[in-house]
Structure 1
Amino acid sequence: MSKKVAVILSGCGVYDGAEIQESVITLLRLDQRGAQVQCFAPNVAQMHVINHLSGEEMPESRNVLTESARIARGNVEDVRTLAVEHFDALILPGGFGVAKNLSNFAVEGANCSVQPDVLAAAQAFAQAGKPIGLICISPALAVKIFGAGVTATLGSSEDPAAAALVSMGGVHEECAVEDVIEDQAHKLVTTPAYMLAQSIAEAASGINKLVDRVLELAQPH
């Protein structure tokens, strides 16, 4: 029986939403491994909209769920409808949308809060003992999901995001771009991806390993 995986997206585009390459690599690997996938996103306004050509903020508003549909080819649902009992695992790709739309980590750092619907969904997987994969900047939310003592990676311990994770009560482990860090007690798998990657192939090397491990940990229901 194929395993069912929920993927939470945070918009469309590295600077204000989900990192497109990380998201596509994740979805591709899940499909290659025969998993059934459903994408989700919160039905909220983006923190802001960034011109990805110039890096400048644009005077407009966009919706995270609507933008995530660009990556999911329209097949994305409101995260508040995510029922943990229908899935075997959860994965969050990275991108600044994680720190801007799924949480306010980009502004508040260690004092951040997670968007309520996203937090409820992720905590449901944690409480059910189902594996979670957090990619790139997503591990910054690990303590909010699992509580103090959880181990994760953001790549280099010199990264300010790693310091924030530690100050929240998490344990940070350094990790090469092609590898993963697993917290066995929490069934959490993390990988740096574009926190360290210099190419799409480098990002894929760790993400593929994360997806494979999350599927190994998942118990089909």
Structure 2
Amino acid sequence: MFHVRVARLLPTLLGGRALHRTQGHPAARVAVVLSGCGVYDGSEIHEASAILVHLSRAGANVKIFAPDTSQMHVIDHSKGQPTQESRNVLVESARIARGDITALSSLNVQDHDAVIFPGGFGAAKNLSSFAVDGESCGINSDVERVLKDFNKSKKPIGLCCIAPVLAAKVIPGVEITVGQEEEHGGKWPYAGTAKSIGALGGKHCAKDVHEVHVDKRHSVVTTPAFMCNAPLHKIFDGIGAMVTGVLKLTEKKS
């Protein structure tokens, strides 16, 4: 019976339900939207973790969401190949959230000051169909609703890596970055994405991995992250700049 009691207590012992809560002073309320767990079929874990670390350091109160829907497919990350498994985006995202996660259908713009989307292929496979359909892609209905609601409410939206394509599709004329527009000897292996931004309805602004682009008109902050073949600490710093930009726009930065 001991192992049963330990299993039941683990979420409490590990602090899963309190990890994303900051007590004692007013703080920005930030929603983070995940797309699974793993770069090739979900959220890029390093990006998601970096966002959460930077938000924690800034004293933000964070709530994590994900669509309660099936993944497009499941990738064996050791081989880079699809498997025959079927997984749920919300269930997989809960791994990153340490169990403290809510269905995206429950995200209400009135409850939050900002929203942030990490990258990873899940943004292009589970939050949209960009990975398959390119510029004619569809967007998950709740993702579209959330982006439109935050845009209409003039509340900031942060996106990194491939996730900015979501904003380009949903917010006409938005200015975003996914990095550089040429590969530069393989440093920017996904540079072709920049050429899709205009066709999606947005405007691309070339930036380096440590930089952000702030579209003040639409309150959208973007950074390239793993669109660049760069050391992890540089990607971490760029994501930190994105989080800082989002929090500045909330006017509640700690």
Question: What is the TM-score normalised by the length of structure 1?
Answer: 0.97
Q: Report how many aligned residue pairs link the two structures.
A: 219
Q: Which has the larger radius of gyration?
A: 2
CA–CA distance in structure 1, aligned partners of residues 247 and 77 of structure 2: 33
CA–CA distance in structure 2, aligned partners of residues 197 and 152 of structure 1: 19
Question: Which range moved further: 196-205 or 89-98?
Answer: 196-205
Q: Does 2:158 align with 1:133? A: yes
For the Cα contact (< 8 Å) 1:126–1:145, is it kept in 2?
A: no
Give the share of equivalent positions with the same residue, in percent: 47
Choose between structure 1 and 2 for higher RCO, CA contacts under 8 A separated by at least 6 residues: 1
Match in the other structure for 2:226: 194
1:197: how far off? 4.2
Q: Does 2:57 align with 1:32? A: yes
1:170: how far off? 1.2
1:74: how far off? 0.4
Q: Does 2:174 align with 1:150? A: yes
CA–CA distance in structure 1, aligned partners of residues 96 and 139 of structure 2: 22
Instruction: Give 5+ residue unaligned stretches, structure 2.
Output: 1-25, 183-190
> What is the RMSD of the two structures over their aligned residues, measured on CA atoms?
0.9
Match in the other structure for 1:113: 138
Q: 2:238 aligns with which of 198, 206, 211?
A: 206
CA–CA distance in structure 2, aligned partners of residues 13 and 143 of structure 1: 23
**SS of residue in 2 equivalent to 1:182:** strand
For the Cα contact (< 8 Å) 1:134–1:189, is it kept in 2?
A: yes
For the Cα contact (< 8 Å) 1:135–1:207, is it kept in 2?
A: yes
Deviations 1:177-214 (A, max 9, x none): 00101111001000000001422211101000000110
**SS of residue in 2 equivalent to 1:43:** coil
Amino acid at match of 2:146: A
Match in the other structure for 2:19: none
1:105: how far off? 0.3
Deviations 1:149-179 (A, max 9, x none): 2110010123221111111221111100001
Moved over 4 A (4+): none
Amino acid at match of 1:153: T
